[in-house]
Every structure is written in C-alpha cells, then in structure tokens.
Amino acid sequence: MNAAETARGALDSLANSRGRSMRHLLIGLGLTAGAVVASAIIGRLNAPTEANPEAYSDYEEPEQPKITVPRPVFAMLWPPLFLALTLSGLRIWNAPKSAARTQALTLWGFVQALNAAWMAVGPRRLGGGLATATAALGTAGAYVWRARQVDAPAANMVAPYVGWIGFANVLTEELWRRNQPRPTLH
C-alpha cells in the first residue's frame, strides 16, 4: 500500500467516506466547515470590546457576575468543539442516503443555526442567551440521538459539545437569576 492509499484510507475512516468521490467529500467538508466557521465568526464579531462591553443586566449600571469563565478557557474549548462538530456533520453527510441521515443533517444544521444565534445574542441578553442555549442543548441532544442511528462515531463526537452547552446553560441561568430585579414589599 503506497502513501496515497494510506492517506485516503485514513481520510475515509475519519470522514466515513468509503465509496464516496473526492468531490462529494469536498462539498461536504465545505458545507460543514462553512457552517461551523460562520458560527465562530458571528461569535467573534459579537465579542465584547471597550466600546461595547459585556452587560449582564438591563439596569443603568450593570452588575458584574461573580461567576465568569476566563477567556483562555473559551480559546481552548471552542476550536476542538468546532472541529468535532465539523467532523460529525461530515461523517453524517458521507453516510448512505436515508431518512435518518436527512433528519440528522437537518438537526445538525439547526444546531449550527442555534449556536450562531447563541453567539450573536452573547452576554448582552442573558434571557435570550439562556433560551437559545436551552434550545441548542435540546436540538444537539436530538441530533446525537438521530446521528447514533446513522453513524455512532459521529454522535460520539458531539458529546463534548452537548456537555459544554449544558454547563453554559447552568452558568447562564445562574447569571440571569442573580440579575433579576428583586421584588419590593410595600
């Protein structure tokens, strides 16, 4: 076996692309990577700056949360999570055509859309962020369930993302709850 055959075999194993043309593989890679990169770009464009700081409250003077995740943690977490989402979508894309594959790809697309929406909402609107992240968690769970019926390794690749979104929901809910107006007694 020569180096090219070895490389193609490794690629086929990673991308679940045995029997698929290179054109099909490249289209799938373009679509899946493009969707994930779009989510990342939306998140980057929405990142807080000096002129547009994070706001955790609708009050005039925002109350800063006691719980924050340091930026280096995000910098370490997002790239492997995005890579896993891309590979998972690519593996489903390369699976044989079936109703389950179509449903899994549809759910994968919704996960990407909700991920982009969650990043677009960002830390400015905790209620909207919590609602979006909760929808993303449910949709990602549905994707994992459906993807498992098509390609178990693709479903397994998304498990860390589901865990992160679950953790982010808990964190966001805590921040949202802490910044709710306190009722006054009259």
More confident call, 127 vs 110: 110
C-alpha 121/C-alpha 118 separation (Å) is 5
Would you say residue 108 lies in a domain?
yes
More confident call, 146 vs 169: 146
Q: What is the DSSP letter of 123?
A: G
What whole-number percentage of the chain has pLDDT above 70? 68
Would you say residue 59 lies in a domain?
yes
CATH number at residue 86: 1.20.1260.100
Mean pLDDT of 2-10: 79
More confident call, 117 vs 108: 108
Would you say residue 184 lies in a domain?
no
Would you say residue 165 lies in a domain?
yes
Would you say residue 183 lies in a domain?
no
51 pLDDT above the threshold of 80: no
pLDDT tens for residues 126-148?
566 667 777 888 899 999 999 99
Would you say residue 115 lies in a domain?
yes
Would you say residue 185 lies in a domain?
no
Print the domain residue range for 91: 3-178
When divided into structural domains, the chain yields a total of 1
* C-alpha triplet 169, 171, 172: angle, nearest 5°: 65
Contact assessment for residue 33 and residue 83, using Cβ atoms and an 8 Å cutoff:
no
